[in-house]
C-alpha cells in the first residue's frame, strides 16, 4: 500500500508541477481567529489522513503536512530518512484546548501499533505527539494516561519534544480536498477507519 501512496503522490506531483508550484508563504498556518493561535504537531501515519481528520474541528485552522523527528535537513517525500510524517495544526485555545485536540487525535489513530499505521508500515508512519512547551508535554502525557485507562492497554504513541517542523511538498497539502476520489480510495483500501473503530469502539470521541 506504500506503493499505492507513492503512485498517487507522483500523479498529483506531475499535475502540480504543470500548474506551477505553491509558494511557501501560501502554505503557512493561518490565524484561526483574531485571538492568539497555538500549534500542535502530531504524527499519526499518513499525513493526508491526519490533516483531514483535524480540519473537521472547530477552532482548528489550515493544517499543514510535513516531516519531523530526524536529523536530515530539508527532507522530501523521496528522501526523509529519520523523519516521520507529521502535521502542524494551528488552533485557537479559546475554542478548543490542546488537551481536547490531543484526546481527539489519539482516538483517530491506532495507539497500539508501534510498527506503522494501518496499511502503511515502517518508521515513517509511526505515531508521536511532539510538544512545543512544558504545558503541552503535561497535557499530552495526561491524555496518554487517560487513553490507557479507557482501553486497559498500553499506548505506544510517544511524547517527544519538537525540534523542527519541515513543511512537505505543495502537492501533499490539502490532498484530501484536491484529490477526493484518490484520497477516498486510499483511505478505504488502507483500512484506517475500520481499524480505528476496532481499537476504540465506544471510546472514540
Choosing from 13, 46, 49, 190, the catalytic residue is 46
- Calpha distance 92→94 (Å, rounded): 5
Residue 38 cell numbers, joined: 497555538
Global model pTM greater than 0.75: yes
Look at residue 9 in the predicted model and tell me its pLDDT: 56
- Calpha distance 155→146 (Å, rounded): 10
* 144-167 confidence digits (pLDDT tens): 999 999 999 999 999 999 999 999
Which stretches within 93-191 are classed as H helix? 98-106, 134-151, 175-178, 180-190
- Calpha distance 170→22 (Å, rounded): 6
What CATH code would you report for 2-203?
3.30.1060.10
* 4-39 confidence digits (pLDDT tens): 555 555 444 444 433 333 333 334 444 544 578 999
Domain boundaries, given as residue ranges, for the chain: 2-203
Could you confirm whether 46 is annotated as catalytic?
A: yes
* The pLDDT of residue 205 is above 60: yes
Amino acid at each position: 500500500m506504500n506503493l499505492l501512496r507513492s503512485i498517487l503522490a507522483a500523479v498529483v506531483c506531475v499535475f502540480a508541477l504543470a500548474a506551477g508550484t505553491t509558494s511557501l508563504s501560501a502554505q503557512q498556518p493561518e490565524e484561526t481567529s483574531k485571538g492568539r493561535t497555538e500549534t500542535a504537531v502530531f504524527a499519526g501515519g499518513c499525513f493526508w489522513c491526519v490533516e483531514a481528520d483535524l480540519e473537521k474541528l472547530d477552532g482548528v485552522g489550515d493544517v499543514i503536512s510535513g516531516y519531523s523527528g530526524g536529523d536530515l535537513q530539508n527532507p522530501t517525500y523521496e528522501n526523509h530518512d529519520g523523519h516521520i510524517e507529521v502535521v502542524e495544526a494551528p488552533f485557537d485555545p479559546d475554542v478548543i484546548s490542546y488537551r481536547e485536540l490531543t484526546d481527539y487525535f489519539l482516538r483517530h489513530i491506532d495507539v497500539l501499533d508501534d510498527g506503522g499505521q494501518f496499511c502503511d508500515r515502517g518508521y515513517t508512519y509511526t505515531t508521536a505527539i511532539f510538544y512545543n512547551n512544558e504545558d503541552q508535554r503535561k497535557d499530552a502525557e495526561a491524555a496518554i494516561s487517560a487513553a490507557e485507562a479507557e482501553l486497559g492497554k498500553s499506548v505506544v504513541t510517544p511524547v517527544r519534544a519538537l525540534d523542527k517542523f519541515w513543511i512537505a511538498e505543495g502537492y501533499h497539502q490539502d490532498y484530501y480536498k484536491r484529490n477526493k476520489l484518490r484520497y477516498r480510495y486510499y483511505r478505504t483500501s488502507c483500512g484506517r477507519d475500520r481499524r480505528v473503530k476496532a481499537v476504540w469502539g465506544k471510546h472514540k470521541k
